[in-house]
Homo-oligomer: A and B are copies of this chain.
Amino acid sequence: MPRVVIVGAGFGGLQCAKRLAGKPVEVLLLDRHNYHLFTPLLYQVASSLLNPSDIAYPVRAVFRKDRNITFRVAEVKGVDLERRVVRTEGGDESYDYLVLATGARVNFFGQDALAQRAFWLNDLPGALQLRNHVLSCFEAAATAADTTGAADATGTSVRRLLTFVVVGGGPTGVEYAGALAELVRLIAANDYPNLGRDDVRIVLVEGTGRILPAFPDALGAHARCRLERLGVTVRLSELVQSVGDGTVLLKSGQTIAAETLVWAAGVTPNCLSDGLAAPRRPNGRLEVDACLRLPGQERVFAIGDVAGYVQGGAELPLLAQPAMQAGRAVAENVLRDLRGLPSEPFRYKDPGIMATIGRNAGVALIRGVALTGWLGWASWLAVHLFFIIGFRNRIAVLLRWAWNYVFYDRPIRFIVREARRGVPHVRA
């Protein structure tokens, strides 16, 4: 049977493999992690609302009954397009068809200081680190407020610990800033009687003149208004110049004393560490033709965030929907090719975009209809709940949302790390 290797078990890779289940192909699905991650809700893990297990799903459990699909945890280093093999640490894997669905990672634009100090919201390890850090800041601030005698010194230290700078006014930055503001309001009021609500500052920094640039103007303005009502300071047309130890210097010259900088200002495609001899677009995404194939390659596809597919003059956005649709389209074309049929060009059908800004507040653009406030929020909930994989996870998320909504409680506020000593390396 022809062998299809899919690199990445994100939205695109998973849909592609699902569509090939039970078909006359042998599928090898590879991912660095043993789970598929519902990334749109990562910010809720980072803000102590959801458990990691609520938004992750073991890949092996997805394909438990599909005997033509093999999953393996592996990091793909490179692809040899001539020899038709992907290179992993455990050895080479040959393919007849290759689907690159490696996604994107946070882009620090080569700034080392930023990479060392900033937090990010693109993966589970990063979200857990951010959660632990924010809670640690509150504990340290409470200790400082309790124990320091000199009022001035305390004030400075507490303020720096409780200032959170979020960079990037896209959905990730906006949603996290809103969720953080709600967390802060809940726990500052209830758990830290010696810290005032006014000690906390959340600053959202966006380079363009408005937040949520992908949405219509009115929705961006609505989101900004809701964020400000939650106490978030929105700084538009502003950039981060540099970061230091506990400070963030803005382009305008202002220095913010802050222990926490969350970088949600851009991602870069994961184009394999040992490289891939294929043309890229200026932003680094792989060039693909109308059927999502690499140029000159009949049987090598790229989908999702790693691929720069142009439709209607613009690249598809870095969202779950384009990746999922592309994954299914590629699977269909592989099957067509096997039956000797010509490939069909991919056409993305935009179901809409949405973002939430805390309790009862959201913005959505669905088939041209703009929704705001409670309606935007409710449709956001419904859509996300629908797309979470697995019945158990859906129930878990729904219960947690309900708990939070009714009791104004964020139950998962633990500073928990894996044991600190080096993790024993598993020798394969």
Contact = CB atoms under 8 A, between A and B. Distances in A.
Contact of A52 (B135, B157, B416): B416
B133 A426 contact: yes
Contacts of A60: 187, 190-192
A317 B30 CA distance: 49
B426 A137 contact: yes
A136 interface: yes
A417 B419 CA distance: 10
A427 B416 CA distance: 18
Contacts of A128: 416-419
Contacts of A246: 427
B414 A61 contact: no
B67 A193 contact: yes
Interface in A146-168: 146-147, 157, 161
Interface string A46-70: 0000011100101011001001001
Interface in A98-125: 116-117, 123-125
A34 B415 contact: yes
A90 B420 CA distance: 22
A316 B348 CA distance: 68
A268 interface: no
A147 B90 contact: yes
A277 interface: no
B426 A125 contact: no
Interface string A401-428: 0010000010111111111110110111
Given A53-B412, A128-B419, A418-B418, A133 B424 contact: yes
Given A58-B414, A123-B419, 10 more contacts: A33-B414, A35-B416, A51-B52, A53-B414, A56-B416, A58-B411, A60-B190, A128-B419, A259-B427, A417-B418
